[in-house]
Each structure stands twice: as C-alpha cells, then as structure tokens.
Amino acid sequence: MANVAVIGAQWGDEGKGKVVDWLASRADLVVRFQGGHNAGHTLVVGDETFKLSLLPSGLVRGKLGIIGNGVVVDPEALLAEIDKVAAQGLRVTPDTLRLAENATLILPLHAALDRAREAARGDRRIGTTGRGIGPAYEDKVARRAIRVCDLAEPETLSDKLGELLRHHNTLLAGFGAPTFDKAELLDRLLALAPRILPFAEPVWERLDEARRAGRRILFEGAQAVMLDVDHGTYPFVTSSNTVAATAAAGSGLGPSAVGFVLGIAKAYSTRVGAGPFPTELADATGQLLGDRGHEFGTVTGRRRRCGWFDAALVRQAVKVGGIHGLALTKLDVLDGLPELTIGTGYRIGADALPHLPAAPGAQARAVPIYESMEGWSASTRGARSWAELPAQAIKYVRRIEELTEAPVTLLSTSPERDDTILVRDPFEG
C-alpha cells in the first residue's frame, strides 16, 4: 500500500479538506507538513461543519493527527482551534495530536510585522492574511526562530527572545508600529508552555515507526502549487514550498515515503487576493461561478475571484508538483452552462507559450488561449458513478485529462463526503 500526499494544483481553495477527509477513512495517520494558520480546510460531516486551519483534517475521522516541522505554528491560534472544535464535540488531546518539537513558532510580533509591511505597500499589497506566516519563515531560515522545544527551556527562550526582539523591534519602529516588551512576551509564552508541550515530540520517530510497520500515512498540504514560493506566481505566493517534495522535508521522512501524489483542482479556477489570474472572468459568468460555488475563503472570508479552468496552469502544477493523478472538485457548479471554456496556453504579444512565465510583468501581460466545448443541462450534483454523469460532462473531464497530462483519479460532485466518484484508489499506488 502506498502513502498519499494531497496538494493543491491551482491557487488553493480547491476543496482539499473534503478530499483529505474522504481519504482519511483509509489512512492511519494524517500529517500537515507546511504552511500555518493561513490555510483553511472546510469539512462537512453530517450536520456539522468544521473549519480547520492548523489541525490535520484526519482528526475529525478519529485518525492520529501530526503537525510536522515544516509548519509554522502560532501556539495561541492552535489552542484556540482546539477549544473551538471541542465546543463542536471533537476532543483533541496528546493521544490524538502530536506536534513536531522542532517546528517554528509564530509570535505576535510576526503578525504585527506582516500587517505593517502590507500597509506600507499600499496599492502594491501582496494580499497576505496578516497572520505572521512569512516573517516566521524568515526567522527560521535566518536561524533566530523560537521553536516548540524552546518552550521547555526558559533560559534559552529568554536569550533567543532578546535576539529576536532586537531585530523585529527595529523593523517595527521603522514602520511606525508599536514594539514589543521582552518580559511581557516571555511571560506570555511561558504561560502557554504547559498546554503546548504535552503535544510535542520528535514526530519523525513516530512516522518512521509507522512507515516500517506498513501503516498508511496521508500527507495534507496547504495552499497550492501555484502559490509555492519557488514555483508559483511570485511574489504573489505563500512563504513555503507547497509541492509534494516538501511532505518529506516537512515531516522528517525520506522522499521515498511520500508515495502517490494527488493534486486537487476545481473544475473551474479561483484565486483569493492579488496576483495574476489569466482566465479570470469579471462578468456575469464569473459572478455565477462564485455564487454557485460559495466562493469565500475559509480563513480570510474574502470573495474568491473566479474564472475558467486553466489547463496550462494545472499542467505546469502537475509537472513541478510531482502529481500522479487529479481529484476534480465542484463539477456540479458548471451544471446548466450552455458553453464551457478551457484555457490551453497563453499569448504574450505575438508569442504563444504553453506555460505561465516566471517574470511578474510577463505574467500580468499573459492572455489566455481558449478552446470551447458544449456544456450539459442535466445535474451532476451528488453523482457517485460515471453512469450518473451526462455524456458531455464526461467529455469535459476527459478533455481536462488530455490537456493537463494527468488522469482524473477522483471526482467530487458536492460538498458531501460520499458524493465522490473513485476511479483509482491513491492508496493502491
């Protein structure tokens, strides 16, 4: 049996939560391996809706959840999320959740710097969530980060806070923002330590034991390939690598342990915040897709920009993300549209390109090359087999497979967990 890594194949918000929740019933452990509480997964379980940001989705299905070292963790946000799901009847304890002791912490000063920078950019804002993700990753690579394990050593924590504040308070003062007091911040962290440390351990050991025992591991990615800090639409990206290769580095396992890579893509395209979006529809059809798809960010609450499916973009994500198969979601949103359009490439001036260029200026000038096909009038909502799909919907899916050079291995036809057409079980490899 193969392990499975789930990653987004567009700009995020593709419906990874439902797919991970569906796959979790076949897994033994579910691992978050990058990002922070800027990610958002919505899970509909019966009459209950869970909105998760840091907690691995498998917890809802009674699976062991692991937050890997590649995640940046706001301890206050984590505890607040644990309390929130507890109020919904889901109890999270050290028996059900483990946290990498070497994961980097997000502190209040990171969020303050994040917001100050965005405000200073004015009309050139990147569109961050303002939750301190980027500044925390900066501290990690600059080797001045506070990590989970530091909470167990007050003297070490105090020394590292001093170094951190010398850097951040200087930056905050330069932006005209309030600075932080070391003693207050130290007391705040030490007060959190007794609630955070019981979850902490060297998770790489547990994962290695699970791998050797043949237990199924599901790696849960956040954001998506086109928000990858290297491979996405830079600088309008997140601050971590979102590709499947990060599942290994972000959890403490070797690359051979990642297994089957499932890329999640909507049957159309959406994006939250700023940045290039070649197939965006600023018309009634775009509004219709947003309304039908309930396109509001789980974390930000902002309305998502909507557009036609961009096969060239997803094809690029398949190649750089190491995707073996696609899970296509929200097919039902396209029901009743008389004509559908798919982006197959881009044009910049007289030049035709099969992929989105790396330079921001060229990305902004890229005009999509389209092809059109007939839509379908019958409903696909709730379909659980190919036989229940209109013939034209099947043609649409097959054309996506051809253009993206990736098979559709799973098809989602509503937010309900079981409204899913399984073509190939990812855990079978």
Among candidate residues 13, 114, 150, 419, the one labeled active-site is 13
C-beta of residue 234 within 8 angstroms of C-beta of residue 358: yes
Beta strand 351-353 with 339-348 is antiparallel
Query: Which residues does 244 contact at the CB level (< 8 Å), separation at least 6?
Result: 5, 7, 219, 221, 258, 261, 321, 322, 323
Query: Which residues does 21 contact at the CB level (< 8 Å), separation at least 6?
Result: 43, 45, 57, 58, 60, 61, 417
Q: Which amino acid is at 272?
A: V
Q: Which string of DSSP letters, residue by residue, matches 82-114?
A: HHHHHHTT----TTTEEEETTPEEP-HHHHHHH
C-beta of residue 217 within 8 angstroms of C-beta of residue 207: yes
Report CA Rg, the chain. Answer: 22
Quickly count: other Cβ atoms within 10 Å of residue 184's Cβ. Answer: 10
Catalytic residue flag (residue 13): yes
Strand blocks (E) in 2-47: 4-8, 29-32, 41-45
C-alpha distances in angstroms, 289 versus 23, 284, 286, 304? Answer: 27, 9, 5, 10
Among candidate residues 41, 110, 168, 324, the one labeled active-site is 41
Both structure tokens of 193? 């330590």
Catalytic residue flag (residue 41): yes
Would you please indicate which residues are annotated as catalytic (active-site) residues? 13, 41
